[in-house]
Structure 1
Amino acid sequence: MNGTLQKHSGLIISLLVLGMASLTSLMLVDLFTFRPRPNGHFSGNGNPALLFVFLLVPLYAVWLGLVGRASYLFFGEGLTRGEERLGIVVLLILLLLLQAFIAYGYAHLIFHSLGSTSDPEATFAGSRGMNQYTNTAYVNLITYTIGTIIAILAGYVFALLRRRN
């Protein structure tokens, strides 16, 4: 096992650094997203969190690629030894379903607090689903986790396909 860790030490260090950088960017998006005021109006100050979204997207994309690669190597080594590791996969699928349910509820809560798009007094009135208050409905730790779980599952699928060929 120690030889495996040494062999993949660059990947492990990259995962740690990119994980911390992308999570920090995610926190900055949340920090700079305006909080809605019930029955309030748009602040008119634009969306400062958008600057951090542009930083987050490439970091998160590389993070997902590295997580998928690490998952591919992890499951691939197990599959060559005859270990299916299905328990991990089932757990990940259950976590993915739970996270999707939570993400839907969280987004619904945010949009409900902003009011209806047809109510002229609502914060959300006239917008088409994206404004300076809704970053956290789409860009949050829940969706971050969903993407990471999908990358892990994709690594498993690719390792399984490689084994079958």
Structure 2
Amino acid sequence: MQLKTALIISSCLFALNLFVIYLVSVFTMELLPGKGISGNGNPGIVLWYIEIPIYISLIALIIYIINKVKFFANRTIFYPILLLCALLLVSFLEYRFAASLYHSIHDRIKEFGAVNQYTNTMFINYYTFTIGILLALIIQSIVQKLRRIH
């Protein structure tokens, strides 16, 4: 695959991922205080089966592009450290987001399990999207540094 084609496809997959993540948040129900629990099932779970393959394809294309361009091969150690700091920050924000969501609804939905119509956004959100991309970039920066040494 040519680099230009990979860039176009990855840009489309990036936009599609963001749109599907938005749809997951739209189809995730909110548990309002004083209201009953919804019996409508989990419409957001259908979007998981769309999001996960698109996301894996995007990550694979990012890895392909970085290897093709050899972006990290001649860079300093600054980039992996910067990416690691960004990963730590985004991971902390994801933890706070998931913990606040879990604590706000846990007592009312104990019998539903972890994945239900109220917790879709705990697993598929912009934080986890960013974490996956940052992990791919960090791993590729390390791999390219190790290849350069040998």
**TM-score scaled to structure 1, two decimals?**
0.82
Q: How many residue pairs end up in the alignment?
A: 149
1:63 is aligned to 2:58? yes
- Secondary structure of the residue aligned to 1:36 is coil
- Per-residue deviation, 1:77: 5.1
Alignment of 1:9-158 (within 5 A): 9-74=4-69, 76=70, 79=73, 83-116=74-107, 122=108, 124-158=109-143
- Per-residue deviation, 1:93: 0.3
Q: What is the CA–CA distance in structure 1 between the aligned matches of 2:62 and 2:71, rounded to whole Å? A: 15
The letter of the residue matching 2:39 is: G
Q: What is the CA–CA distance in structure 1 between the aligned matches of 2:128 and 2:71, rounded to whole Å? A: 29
Q: What is the CA–CA distance in structure 2 between the aligned matches of 1:103 and 1:140, rounded to whole Å? A: 9
- Per-residue deviation, 1:14: 1.4
Q: What is the CA–CA distance in structure 1 between the aligned matches of 2:148 and 2:68, rounded to whole Å? A: 12
- Secondary structure of the residue aligned to 2:112 is coil
Q: Segments of 4+ in structure 1 off by > 6 A?
A: none
Cα deviation 1:31-74 (Å, max 9, x = unaligned): 11111112543201011111111111100000011112222334
Q: What is the CA–CA distance in structure 2 between the aligned matches of 1:143 and 1:94, rounded to whole Å? A: 15
Alpha-carbon contact 1:38-1:113 (below 8 Å) kept: no
- Per-residue deviation, 1:144: 0.5
Alpha-carbon contact 1:18-1:59 (below 8 Å) kept: yes
Task: Give the CA RMSD over aligned residues.
Answer: 1.7
**TM-score scaled to structure 2, two decimals?**
0.89
Structure 2: state its 5+ residue gaps: none
